Structure 1
Amino acid sequence: MDLAIIDQTKDSISPYHKDLVRAILNFAGTTLSLPENTEMSVTFVNNDEIQRYNREYRGVDKPTDVISFAIEEGDDVFNVSSEDDWVVDIAKNIGDILVSVDIIASQAEYLGHSYERELGFLVVHGFLHLNGYDHMINDAAEKEMFDLQRKILDDYGLKR
């Protein structure tokens, strides 16, 4: 997976945590059988910045843990014929996620698990949203998404 990690935090994200994000999202991409040339980005921000995005795009004026911006939502998908030779070379950009490092730390402490587990949970959660999963549709969709999220984290080794 072609993954851009952008750090816009006041205190930088450690190289270890960046490597963890790369590894778990590559693992999740393999789990979903995504093409190797799939593209996405993860941007780490502080609460004030994610609150700005949450207010602007969701109408909620408070910080949140993760926000996903999927590229291919709804009917606005660029369709090409699979018979075209050049199609195999086109990378699929699935979108961007924003993660608040402040909330990673506070939720990890509140839930009694590691920073790494919460980091993995949030990036996989955002990743699944980019791939069409939505826990807010109904109970069945919620169960499907959360079961897959738990499976990816457990299989990767980030168990609760």
Structure 2
Amino acid sequence: MAVLEILHFPDPRLREVAQPVEEIDASLQDFIDDMFETMYDAPGVGLAATQVGVAKRVAVMDCSEDKDEPIVMINPEIIAREEPVVVDEGCLSVPDHYDRVNRHKKVTVRAQDRHGEVYELEGEGLLAQCIQHEIDHLDGGLYIDQLSRLKRERIRRKLEKARRHRGETENVRRQT
């Protein structure tokens, strides 16, 4: 298993629409394991394949307190939504930024598990939020798309400045 690099906004690969998974094979199993390791290491509660530069409709989640309830969603689709709510949200691809966005308190998703078996899962609260968030990623969206253009630009500038600063720090380390 390996920790994968998580892409950060405004990386254009985050805007790719993920393609359906046609074949569930050993390489996909390894990729799912790497996604879980990456998510737990980050630490986060969900991770979509597009966040690590792979345009496949795969996401992993674990919203449990003890991080012992892993969920794999392959080719997920939301089939029911109930009760719109406004929630605080963040994202591993938009580090250190949080804002209020619109979600649904309860959703039902249909997906395949890591073995290709179709299942339906009803989620409430954080699980419902995570399901919606990860499927947005697979559709090329980010939670910040719900924010004003001004807020998105401010976030983009801060992240680019932080990236430049990290790059300058790396150059100094290499020179010494």
TM-score scaled to structure 1, two decimals? 0.29
Bigger RCO of structures 1 and 2 (CA < 8 A, at least 6 apart): 1
* More helix per residue: 1
